[in-house]
Structure 1
Amino acid sequence: MSDDADDVIRVLTERTEARFDMSLPELRRAVTAAPQASAHAVEVVRWHGLLATAQRALERAEDALAAALTPAPEGPVGERVLRLAHRVDEALQIRDGRAVVLTRLLAPHPPGTPGPAAGYAPAPSRHRGGAAAAHPVPGLPAPLSAQTGRGVVR
């Protein structure tokens, strides 16, 4: 396991503990005992677990690749080594993707939770003295008031 992997798990664990003001094992127990108390805490614990699982898969893939390369192969790299290298790459992408999701969930105001912009409605445009156009501009996302659910305009 690389130091970088230790840092990813360690940093996100520290952020999780700081966000909920309790250790990760305490948070897991609290979520298990009362999942209805905080849907956000449930998601953070879920994604932290997914991240840890992805990290273990990455470590296994790295170990298999290292074993295939020891001793160093003579001649061209074999098909097996290439498959193992691709497996390491895929495992790394999965781990990093899960780390990104967890990072966003731990942001001060994750999507779906009230934040400083909650209820924000832009003021009418004062450009040329008229109101803002009521229809969306092609190529730009629909106004927040037209979005529902997971960002899908209906």
Structure 2
Amino acid sequence: MSEIPDFFDGEIVAMLADRIEARFEMPLDDLVRSMAQAHLATAGVTGVVHAYGLLTQAQTALEKAEDALAAALETATDEVLEDPVISLAHEVNQAVEARDTYAQWVRALLEVPAGKTSARTGAVSRLTTTLPVAAPAQAARIGIAR
């Protein structure tokens, strides 16, 4: 289940747009223009604007998937749904998950304190591509009780 509360079509996008505008103290369109002109192109602004763009794309994809499913359900005649309708329902579920993921990402980026460039708070250990070497096995000593 999603951790994002239920919103109607596009409400979550509008709510996050309002939070972005409040955080950066300017309308979203001005923020995008300032970022594009490198006046305000910090890592924080760039990340939020990028994530918000992906969120709006995901919301558009969700709306299209919902429309396709609604049209298919209107023409469905059987009580048991056929594979194409089930497939459209899965597309809607995937679109909801994508939208919610981007919404969580935007929300997380907005929670980063002003002036910080990332949400990372501590050092991250480096991933390695080698496996640890096993120590040679010791011969087992079995004692017999007498």
Aligned to 1:8: 12
Show structure 1 runs of 5+ residues with no match: 119-143
What is the Cα deviation at residue 76 of structure 1?
1.2
CA contact (8 A) 1:19 1:106 kept: yes
1:68-127 per-residue CA deviation (whole Å, 9 max, x = no partner) reads: 0014532310000000000000000000000000000001528x5489xx7xxxxxxxxx
Using the alignment, how far apart are the partners of 1:79 and 1:35 within structure 2? 51
Aligned AA (2:81): V
- The number of aligned residues is 120
1:21-69 per-residue CA deviation (whole Å, 9 max, x = no partner) reads: 0000000000100077411101111111000000000000000000000
The percent identity for this pair of structures is 38
| TM-score (normalizing by structure 2) | 0.73
**Structure with greater contact order relative to length (CA < 8 Å, sep ≥ 6):** 2
Rg (Cα) greater in structure: 2
Using the alignment, how far apart are the partners of 1:55 and 1:35 within structure 2? 29
- Deviating more after overlay: 70-79 vs 48-57: 70-79
3-state secondary structure, aligned to 1:97: helix
Aligned match of 2:106 in 84, 87, 102?
102
Aligned to 1:56: 60
Change (3 A) 1:114 1:105: closer
Aligned to 2:125: 152
Change (3 A) 1:70 1:18: same
Using the alignment, how far apart are the partners of 2:47 and 2:39 within structure 1? 10
Taking only aligned residues, the RMSD between alpha carbons, in angstroms, comes to 2.5
Dislocated runs of 4+, deviation >6 Å: none
CA contact (8 A) 2:10 2:59 kept: no
Show structure 2 runs of 5+ residues with no match: 1-5, 128-146
